[in-house]
Structure 1
Amino acid sequence: MVGNAEDISPSMQIDLDAIDEAIGSRSWLLRFPDALEATFERDTGRQRCRELIVRAYIGIVIYDLFAIADWWATPSLFWTALWVRVAFFTPVALTLVAVLYTTPRAVIRESIICLGGGAVAVGTVIYLMAVSGPALQGTLHESMTLLVLFMTVVQRTRFFYLVPTCLGFLAAHIWAVAHFYHYTPGQQVAINMVFGATVIFALVASYTMERDLRLHYLFSLRGRAQNRELDRMSRRDALTGLGNRRSLEETLAACEQAIAAAGELAIVLLDIDHFKLFNDNSGHQAGDLCLKRVAGILQAELRGQADHAFRFGGEEFIIVLQKTPLTKAVRIAERMRQAIEHAAIPHPALGADAVVTASFGAACSQPGHVLNIAEIIASADAALYAAKRNGRNQVWPRPLSANSAEIIPMADRTSQKG
């Protein structure tokens, strides 16, 4: 059973195109492409095992209750039938059910149902026919019909496992009717045709139910994938592809806990130098392209999932660096500054050979000092202002120089202004 779309694994990485292709193909083979099939099993396998376990217990109880029919129909066979049902079939079936608690692979899971609910149960019925002698119940072979229904309707055995099982039932039924019962050939044909029709109807129902199950899963999966894509888009800046203000606020809210746990958090603010002049001289279309290129450079310089880049507004960007001290944040900012400058994006408004540059300001939470996110951002903004006041195209605080042991402190900014 699939369940709701919300129950589908959030780690699912199948894209919408693959899902739509699977829905469009409606493969009669009842199997998805390998990656999608693996996702289907991962998302539904555990729930299916739980359902099979509950239904198996119900089947075992009902099977054992048929001892009542044995008592009334063939009293001489009662104790033998009771032993077969309670002392043999029930322990074997419970052992197979116990395996389902381990959530085995599909081939093992479905084979257990075919073996326990199929082969073993049919074997016990044929055994009772063999030991009945003159006391043979006329309805024993009819109990095989109940087994077909149990396998199909109750346990909903997967179609490709059910086909050989039901064909085995049919062969056993034909043999048992011919071997143990004194029916005329015409009666045998009629009885076997009824059972054969039951098998055919059961297989058609099994195919239809599994096809509908898989289609329902695909539609649920597509709905979740679409919701995930819409959610992702709602957190992205439409122009640059970086995180937007909504995504920034969510990330910063999560980072508050890191600060509370004495973890270091660095914020880097950057602003493209003389961007208004760039827009006025080259036009907004060129300005948009410049923003995209700078955003791509920033994204490429991030170290991994712990780093995040956002468009802060206009030509301003913000970088959130988790578990990063100020010295390392400044080095990362300097690397970004150099990458933007080396990209050599022309800035015609500043001269024939001028290129686009950016100014950076960095700040970090301090161990032992309780600072909230707003205060760190304010410090980074002040550092950015200092970088612009000191001539732009630089990082503030200043990165380590070849002969320096420390970053230029905030207190020295005034003396550095020119």
Structure 2
Amino acid sequence: MRSQKRLPGAGKATMPAALAAERGVVEGLIDGRGASRWRLMFPDALETRYVEEARVSRTRGLLYSGIFAFVMYATFLISDTIHRSEDLALAAMLRLGCVCVVAMLVLPLVQRAPSMRLKEWLMTALVINTMLVSAILLQLSRTELSHVDTLLFGFFPMVGNILFRLRFLQALTASLTCTLIMAGVIALEPAGQEGLELLAMVIFASTTGLSLLANHQLEYNQRQVWLLRQRERLLLEEKRAAGQRLTREANCDALTGVYNRRHLERDLAQRWADLTREDGLAILMVDVDHFKAYNDHHGHVEGDHCLQQVAGALQAGIGPQPGMVVRYGGEEFLVLLESVTERQLRACAERIRRKVRALKLIHPDSSVAKVLTVSVGAVSYKAEQHTNLTDLVRAADAALYDAKHQGRDCCIVR
């Protein structure tokens, strides 16, 4: 049992409301409210979480797909050997030096880049670079059949859109840039290739457009799956929070927030054997002096506030010892301590008395002092005298009775 440094339910009251609000945002996004289907962007907090949760798997996916794509690109040299033998050296220099080597330098940067946005843009640059280098190779090639390469140019944006699965903004940027490069290539094609140019442009537009739509749908579906998982997580957290709230309500006093008598009796009944096996179990009974007079003078609202402050002072007064504070009834509190020596028990009782006095709650109708005070009765567990919780509480209550008869605002420890 830990020393209560704050109220058992403190800081948790707003949790269910916050969870419900977040779930409302998530459900709105799932239903298509609050954001365009085509925008593919969550509110800032959700977007940050979405990106960060996928950071490791997304980075790994970019690296593996990048390695695979550029290894496959290097195999284009096989086709160059057959159809572009006189330009093989040029093809090797451009394909290996300007594409594969660049990819080997950029992919480690993708792995180490601090932000996912930078990783996506680096992969986008690789797609554009590959398209640009291939277009330059086509223009520099002296082979008659080199212009047939234009039929394959749709492969490059498709790799970015489908294999790399670039985020839609980056995929759109890569596709549009590759389209501009393709338009330049077609414009520079020699005369007499009109039929091939038209076929190449149709193939390029079809593959690029369809792969871009597929990219959008893939990211949209991925985001929807993530939202569904978030909703499930939030529902589970709401249920867990509701269960914890019910537990707190069952175990804690609604006014002061400390434990209630029901929790004390159930908890000690379950752990009595363990608590009494070792030395150091003790109970303090604390009673607010002349509380009825305080309540009558200040009113019930101030009386309730007084009890809340006293409960806080008792929790602070426990100090480093393991223990708990219980509202035993009305203005009477019980403090249970574990593993304390008699000296520590006396110090704790006196500390509690001083901390309540230090609240400086004005009590003009008290016969003890001008401020609110408490009387404390404390008793250590003794096996030969206390066979159960009732015996121990009765002994502490008797000590409290003596403290009241000795003038109140004092501690009796037995």
> Is the pair's TM-score, using the shorter chain for normalization, greater than 0.5?
yes
From the superposition, tell whether residues 166 and 180 of structure 1 become closer, same or farther in structure 2 (CA, over 3 Å): same
Structure 1 counterpart of 2:239, one-letter code:
L
Give the CA deviation at 1:234.
Answer: 3.3
The verdict on how the C-alpha distance between 1:362 and 1:42 changes in structure 2, with shifts beyond 3 A counting, is: farther
Instruction: Summarize the alignment of residues 9-408 of structure 1 with structure 2, pairs less than 5 Å apart.
Output: 15-16=18-19, 17-24=21-28, 25=33, 27-28=35-36, 29-116=39-126, 118-182=127-191, 184-185=193-194, 187-236=196-245, 237-238=248-249, 239=254, 273=287, 294=308, 298=312, 333-334=352-353, 337=356, 342=361, 388-391=400-403
CA distance in 2, matches of 1:68, 1:162: 29
Task: State how far apart, in whole Å, the 1-side matches of 2:322 and 2:191 are.
Answer: 81
Percent identical among aligned pairs is: 16
Tell me by how many angstroms 1:195 deviates. 1.7
Cα distance in 1 for partners of 2:169, 2:337 equals: 53
Structure 2 runs not aligned, ≥5 long: 1-15, 268-279, 293-299, 364-371, 381-388
**CA–CA separation in structure 2 for the residues paired with 1:243 and 1:58:** 62
Distance 2:231 2:52 in 1: 16
Cα RMSD after superposing both structures: 5.2
Task: Supply the distance in 1 between the matched residues of 2:92 and 2:105 (Cα, whole angstroms).
Answer: 19
Indicate how the Cα distance of structure 1 residues 187 and 81 shifts in structure 2: closer, same or farther if over 3 A, else same: closer
Change (3 A) 1:39 1:70: same
Go from structure 1 to structure 2 and tell me whether the alpha carbon gap of 1:74 and 1:234 turns closer, same or farther (over 3 Å shift). same
Distance 1:222 1:343 in 2: 51
Deviation at 1:267, TM superposition (A): 10
Check conservation: 1:340, 1:357, Cα contact below 8 A.
no
* Larger CA deviation: 193-202 vs 169-178: 193-202
Contact 2:324 2:336 (C-alpha < 8 Å) held by counterparts: yes
Q: Find the aligned partners of 1:307 and 1:137 in 2 and give their Cα distance.
A: 85
Q: Provide the secondary structure at the position in 2 that maps to 1:180.
A: coil
**Residues 146 and 190 (structure 1), Cα distance of their counterparts in 2 relative to 1, 3 Å cut:** closer
Query: How far off its partner does 1:307 sit?
Result: 11
Alpha-carbon distance between aligned partners in 1 of 2:99 and 2:17, rounded to the nearest angstrom: 43
Q: In the alignment, is the contact (CA less than 8 A) between 2:349 and 2:376 conserved in 1?
A: no
Larger of the two Rg values belongs to structure: 2
Shift of 1:52: 0.9
Q: Give the residue type in structure 2 aligned to 1:49.
A: T
Taking the aligned partners of 1:234 and 1:343, their CA distance within structure 2 comes to: 40
Q: Between Structure 1 and Structure 2, how many residues are aligned?
A: 338
Describe the SS at the equivalent of 1:209. helix
Greater relative contact order (CA < 8 Å, ≥ 6 in sequence): 2
Q: Distance in 1 between matches of 2:179 and 2:60?
A: 29
Q: Could you give the per-residue CA deviations for residues 310-332 of structure 1, whole angstroms, max 9, x where no partner exists? A: 786875677999xxx96996687
SS at match of 2:146: coil
**Pair 1:82–1:160, CA change in 2 (3 A):** same
Amino acid at match of 2:132: G
Kindly tell me: are residues 21 and 83 of structure 1, through their superposed partners in 2, closer, same or farther at Cα, counting changes over 3 Å? Answer: same
Deviation by residue 1:287-317 (Cα, 9 ceiling, x = unmatched)? xx969974996399779xx999978687567
2:83 maps to a residue whose letter is A
Q: Aligned-pair distance for 1:89?
A: 1.6
1:18-72: CA deviations, max 9, x gaps? Answer: 3432441262221122222222222222331122111111112111122112212
Contact in 2 for aligned 1:19/1:222 (Cα 8 Å) = yes
Amino acid at match of 2:97: A
> Following the alignment from structure 2 to structure 1, what is the Cα–Cα distance between the partners of residues 284 and 305?
12
Q: Cα distance 1:41–1:75, how it changes in 2: closer, same or farther (>3 A)?
A: same
For residue 339 of structure 1, report the CA deviation from its aligned partner: 8.7
Counterpart contact for 2:356–2:374, Cα < 8 Å? yes
Residue aligned with 1:133, SS = coil
In the alignment, is the contact (CA less than 8 A) between 1:297 and 1:340 conserved in 2?
no
Paired residues of 2:283 and 2:334 also in contact (CA < 8 A): yes
Determine the C-alpha separation between the residues in 1 that align with 2:314 and 2:211.
58
Deviations along 1:104-156, one digit per CA (max 9) or x if unpaired, are 2132111101001x121112201210221234424422332222221111111
Measured in 2, the distance between the counterparts of 1:145 and 1:360 equals 87
